[in-house]
Amino acid sequence: MEKRIGIIGFGEMGKRHALEFREATCGMISVAGVVEPDDLKYQQGCEWNQFQVPRFKTIAELLEQAKPDGILIASPNFMHYENLRELKDFSNPILLEKPLDTTLENIVRIVRFAREHKGIILVDHVMRYAPIMQEAKRMIEEGKIGKVCSFEFTQRMDAGAMYHTFRRSIAKGGGHMIEKATHDLDVALFLTGAMPESVVMISRRQLYGGTRPDDLCCSGCPDILKCSSANLSHRSAADNFKDIDVTNDLCVFAKEVDVPDNESCLIQCSGGIFGSYSHNYFSRQSGRSRTYEIIGTEGALFIEMAAAPDFQGVIHYYPRNLEGKTDIRKYHYFGKIHYNGGPYLARHFHSLMTGAETQPYTTVAQAFLAEALGLAAMESAKAGRFVPLAEIVPDDLKDILNGGK
């Protein structure tokens, strides 16, 4: 059954989802229309999808004229709450791009909105859907590593989509503990089954930022051939990597850049589980984007999420006291980012729109836990101490810290 969606924000994520959703569902999800105020972004989105998408000036106009079966909010992070509140009378499923928003105030507003809203709100925590993560979860639930004790998650990237785009500013992106790390924090909670309790973090901006003009782009910079952080790639939908867009090329040394590029935190969770998370954006690991290790009383899982050139993930299972025995499982991404989780999320969204499924797999409450953890980490970096999540979460939402919805 074909379902038509409306997209709010037809920039980087909006245009990517439009193409991926159509391909993942064999055309069962089509685009009824988009709201995108930026003419250039709209045109680039149409070129990316290779057809002229209907365009509307306002969300109200999109709802009234296109009558979509579902809505995707893919606007810049700091606009999510403002966009969502315009859908208060919309009863069809809503897919909200992560993070929920950029500030604790608006994130809390979204959680409260979701609790009152009568329709389904699904959050795009796409990595939970990835086959490699589903297999890791199954292995843990089957008791392969015994009782979960600890975890160590690491992400190493280059400037890429994080410093050549609006995400380079805390005001617009929220900071990488909200914009980027919430993928990893959400997966950590998903795999371990733990609830976060407190966190401490060291946070530094050690390379990016500077005195260059905020509107300077690599393509117009006289130093482009001398700059090791310049974006020299300009892929499009015609390339092999259909859901990767690296055409953004804002200068990483602009005055606006205030997001830390090197952070590491320690996390205390329920059940005695503890762990660490670190990310760095100027020293990429060759062939890897992320590495996760989950340690239990009977063994450990070491998960590698590879980047170019292999584009496949590997789970290494190490049973305790069985030296030399390793179970290795490999997963190909088929040219998709987020480890091929997107097609599964797209099909789930379609099922929610048709009524074949009635419960979102990735919820607002789950997203709130990961984002509250990220916000508490940012607060701890300022305070120089462990910060309990209960210290920053409002009283009416504290039940989420104990598994509430």
Q: Is residue 239 part of a domain?
A: no
Residues 181 and 289 in one domain: yes
Instruction: Extract the runs of DSSP E, i.e. beta strands, from 187-271.
Output: 196-204, 262-269
Q: Is residue 264 part of a domain?
A: yes
CA separation for the pair 68, 336 (Å, rounded):
26
Q: Residue 167 corresponds to which tokens in the numbers above?
A: 């995400």
Cβ count near 149 (within 10 Å): 17
CATH number at residue 197: 3.30.360.10
Q: How many CA atoms lie within 13 A of 156 on its CB side?
A: 12
Residues 153 and 88 in one domain: no
**What is the per-residue DSSP string for 341-375?**
THHHHHHHHHHHHHTS--S-SS-HHHHHHHHHHHH
Q: Is residue 379 part of a domain?
A: yes
CA 167 to each of CA 47, 72, 257, 359: distance values in angstroms, whole numbers, following the listed order: 23, 20, 9, 31
Q: Is residue 218 part of a domain?
A: no
Question: Residue 308 has what pLDDT?
Answer: 57
Q: Is residue 303 part of a domain?
A: yes
Q: Residue 375 corresponds to which tokens in the numbers above?
A: 């916000």
Question: Residue 240 has what pLDDT?
Answer: 41
Residues 55 and 96 in one domain: yes
Angle subtended by helix axes 181-192 and 364-383, to nearest 10:
120
Residues 110 and 144 in one domain: no
Provide the residue range defining the domain that includes 136. Answer: 128-207+258-337+368-402
Question: Residue 239 has what pLDDT?
Answer: 41
Q: Which residues in the chain land under pLDDT 70?
A: 233-247, 286-287, 307-310, 323-324
Question: Are 105 and 163 spatial neighbours (Cβ–Cβ below 8 Å)?
Answer: no
**pTM, to two decimals:** 0.91
Cα-to-chain-centroid distance, residue 150: 23
Question: Residue 238 has what pLDDT?
Answer: 37
Question: Residue 231 has what pLDDT?
Answer: 83
CATH number at residue 55: 3.40.50.720
- 301 — phi, psi (to 5°)? -115, 135
Instruction: Please list, in sequence order, all residues whose beta carbon lies within 8 angstroms of the beta carbon of residue 192, skipping any fewer than 6 positions away.
Output: 140, 148, 151, 269, 273, 275, 294
Q: How many CA atoms lie within 13 A of 353 on its CB side?
A: 24
